[in-house]
Amino acid sequence: MRKNIRAKKFSRPSSQRGALLRSLARSIVLHGKITTTETKAKEASRVVERMVTRAKKGDLASRRYLSSAIGEEQASKLVETIAPQFSERSGGYTRVVKRGPRKSDGARMAIVEFVK
């Protein structure tokens, strides 16, 4: 039985899964939106939501955590430009928009983007 399983495993070991989600989060912060499969989009959205909440604090511990998680450049962009846009908002920083299936293999695709 799958009780209390909160995250998808993506048929990968935990280290690869963490690297995948960090890479997706890094791309979302850097570009503002990405196109990926629906399942990966939902999981990446969860990760980015937590990072934005952490970035809204803006203290040294939050900056260090974010820079270790997604890199110095993305962490500074997240704290200095993205987090202030959501200062009045208490959640729901990203949006997952479903698209049609991918041509090659029919996988369901989605766009993850920041809410304006």
How many other CB atoms are there within 10 angstroms of residue 26's CB atom?
A: 21
Give Cα separations from 14 to 17, 20, 44, 47 (angstroms).
5, 10, 15, 15
CA distance 34 to 36: 6
pLDDT at 3: 84
Q: What is the pLDDT of residue 7?
A: 86
Q: 52: Cβ–Cβ under 8 A, 6 or more apart, which residues? A: 78, 82, 83, 86, 93, 94
* Residue-level pLDDT, tens digit, the chain, 116 residues: 778 888 899 999 999 999 999 999 999 999 999 999 999 999 999 999 999 999 999 999 999 999 999 999 999 999 999 999 999 999 999 999 999 999 999 999 999 999 98
Which residues lie closer than 8 Å to 71 by C-beta, 6 or more apart? 26
In 3D space, the residue among 43, 32, 31 whose CA is nearest the CA of residue 5 turns out to be 43
pLDDT given for residue 101 in this prediction: 98
Q: pTM of the entire structure?
A: 0.91
Of the CATH numbers 3.30.950.10, 3.90.45.10, 3.90.1030.10, 3.40.50.10420, which one belongs to the domain with range 15-114? 3.90.1030.10
